A and B are shown apart, each in its own frame.
Chain A
Amino acid sequence: MLSLLAAADTSTVDAGKAIALALGIGLGSLGAGIGIGNIFGSMIQAVARQPELRGELQGIQWLGFALTEAVVFYGLIGGLLAYVLV
């Protein structure tokens, strides 16, 4: 099912599916990557300005990180579903 490398040379349909899955996840991670960068960038700025707030901000930071990171995995699950079902 998921042996992508083996699938690529068996038939063009499988190759197409493999490319679509890879492209979909790649583009999905692009957005999440930007989002995660934003979160940690803002965190660094916030701590640089007010270091005493670090403890309070850390909880929010990890919440934001996990919420953003999960977006990739929605894409991954969608991609896997499409890969298996189509």
Chain B
Amino acid sequence: MRRALALAGLLAVVLPAVAAAAEESEEFDPSAEWTLHEWIPIHLGPIDMSINKAVAYLLLGTAVSIVIGIVLMRWRLGHTPGRRQTVGEAIYEMAQTQVAEQGLPTKAIPLWFPYVASLMIFIWVVNMLGFIPLPLSDEKVDIGGVELPTLAVFAATSTLSVTLALALMTCVFTHIEGIRANGVMRYLQSWIPDVPKAMLPMIIPLEILGQFMRLISLSVRLYANMLAGHMLILTFIGLIFLTNWLVFPLSVTAATVFYLFEVLIVVSIQAYIFAALSAIYIGSAIEPEH
């Protein structure tokens, strides 16, 4: 009950914020959430390293995941765990049994458990920050003569560059570990399945393509899930401005339902899936005949 009240309060804060942000611009456009304005321009030659909304969210996400890790799993641990330590142990056990041991061979767990566990926590935190209204947006609102950024929801993982960078990391580690454990030739041979010789010219390009499809599917899965979640919520709220204010009850109810679905299910599932698949990919490269 208390949780439901807290969520209702959160929604009461976020919904008017979205509304206020939309009212200022002439026409409501849900995709405006993904136009990233440069806050602090940093240009290294052709490389654009500017700090924008997504980078700010990523930095915040990094800080929060470090704090979560230290506070829950490192700080003042005792033999009789309190509530804080129980949560930390539950997360650790989840990462160990559900993610690492599912995919990684036993000998690789000491080396790769930290990677997959931090992937899981980091993606969960960034996803979750995406559904908490924070004053990090491009729209400004005037409160008592001070220009403040409006409260808005935005997830760094709903931009393709972020998820692609994460997936690229897993991809690079997969091949490095595969070569390190098996040697170059044996690793490349392990890509080719046992089929009749006549089939090989067809199978080999498919297998090589499959390695790249992994990268795409890993990144697009997370990206599109978060994008679609935010877009659904924004579009349903935006129906008020696009059509008639009479759709208010319908659109707010639908947006609330999608918000709860995203926060309670999708955020955690996507973090878990990304980490579990990373573990499975790395594990299958280390031990191809699994």
The answer to whether the Cβ of B59 comes within 8 Å of any Cβ in the partner chain is no
Task: Identify which of A15-23, A40-48, A60-68 touches chain B.
Answer: A60-68
Q: Does B272 contact A (CB under 8 A)?
A: yes
| Nearest A residue (CB) for B98 | A59
- Give A24-76 interface residues, CB cut-off 8 Å to B: 59, 62-63, 65-67, 69-70, 72-74, 76
Across the interface, which residues of A come within 8 angstroms of B227, CB to CB? 73
Q: Is the CB of A76 within 8 A of B243?
A: no
Chain B interface size band reads: 20 to 34
Give chain A residues whose Cβ lies under 8 Å from the Cβ of B243: 5
> B220 on the interface (CB 8 Å rule)?
yes
User: Main secondary structure on chain A at its contact with chain B?
Assistant: helix
A77 at the interface (CB under 8 A from B): yes
Q: Are A3 and B29 in contact (CB under 8 A)?
A: yes
Contacting residues of chain B (49-84) with chain A, CB-CB under 8 angstroms: none
Q: Contacts of A72 on B, CB cut-off 8 Å?
A: 228
| Complex alpha-carbon distance, A18 and B242, angstroms | 16
CB distance from B284 to the nearest CB of A (A): 14
Given A2-B30, A2-B31, A3-B27, are A66 and B270 neighbors across the interface (CB < 8 Å)? yes
Nearest CB of chain A from residue B76's CB, rounded to whole Å: 30
How many A residues, CB 8 Å from partner?
18
Does A1 belong to the interface (CB within 8 Å)? yes
Bound form: Cα–Cα A73–B219 in Å: 12
A67→B218 CA distance, assembly (Å): 10
**Distance between Cα atoms of A69 and B276 in the complex (Å):** 16
Near A by CB (< 8 A), chain B positions 143-175 give none
- Residues of B contacting A66 in the complex (Cβ-Cβ under 8 angstroms): 221, 269-270, 272-273
Point out residues on A near B: beta carbons under 8 Å.
Answer: 1-3, 5-6, 59, 62-63, 65-67, 69-70, 72-74, 76-77
Q: Using a CB–CB distance below 8 Å, which chain B residues touch chain A?
A: 27-31, 98, 102, 217, 220-221, 223-225, 227-228, 231, 235, 239, 242-243, 269-270, 272-273, 276
